[in-house]
Amino acid sequence: MALSRFPRIPWQFWLPLVMQVALILAAPARSMYTYNMGESVLLQTAPVDPYDLLRGYYVILSYQISRPDTLDDLPGWEDIEAAQNQRSLPVYVVLDPPSGKAISEVEGKGQPWLPVRISRDRPTLDPDQVALKGLYHWGSLTYGLERYYIPEDQRVEINERINQLQRSQPESYLVEVKIDGAGEAVLVSLWIGEKNYRF
């Protein structure tokens, strides 16, 4: 009987390797799915701190729908406040399109979507609505959309526009995101005034 030239590699080696590769690919696969299948939504933002020496150039985005004073009049907010002693709480913010129009139906920048209610559980939606999943943590909401890295070839231009508009028109920043049916979102583009920068 002829012996194989190559030793057999046991399944104990292959199984962990396959699992590690699957985990590495899972994160970008989810983002790609959301980018391709999600609903386009505009969110009102106000950028903060455009430079960090350790991370390179980026813009920290603070959303209006991250602030309790924007959400405290919405249905469902009482449930969130009642559970605020928890360290972190998954929540869904239900958004309505402005004037009932999606981004694809609006020429130019369009208007930001409006929060209409908030829920601890995944909500039932009207046909035009989307639900953005976030994390309530010690009085603030985050959505995983708070950091935008500036492309190398646009750093100077974006920084100049941010510095110029931050003083005179802080409301002129909008972010386009795509939100999938599970409430997960990815960044698509950043509006600074009338100029759009794609992610």
Extended beta strands in the chain, E state: 39-48, 51-52, 56-63, 89-96, 114-119, 130-137, 140-142, 147-149, 173-179, 185-192, 195-198
- With CA atoms as reference, report the closest residue to 113 among 90, 93, 141: 93
Look up the pTM and report it: 0.76
Q: Cβ(199)–Cβ(190) under 8 Å?
A: yes
* Sequence letter at residue 169: Q
pLDDT in tens, 87-97: 788 999 999 99
Q: Cβ(16)–Cβ(25) under 8 Å?
A: no
Phi first, then psi, for residue 2 (nearest 5°) are -80, 135
pLDDT in tens, 33-82: 666 778 889 999 866 655 554 455 777 888 989 988 888 899 999 888 77
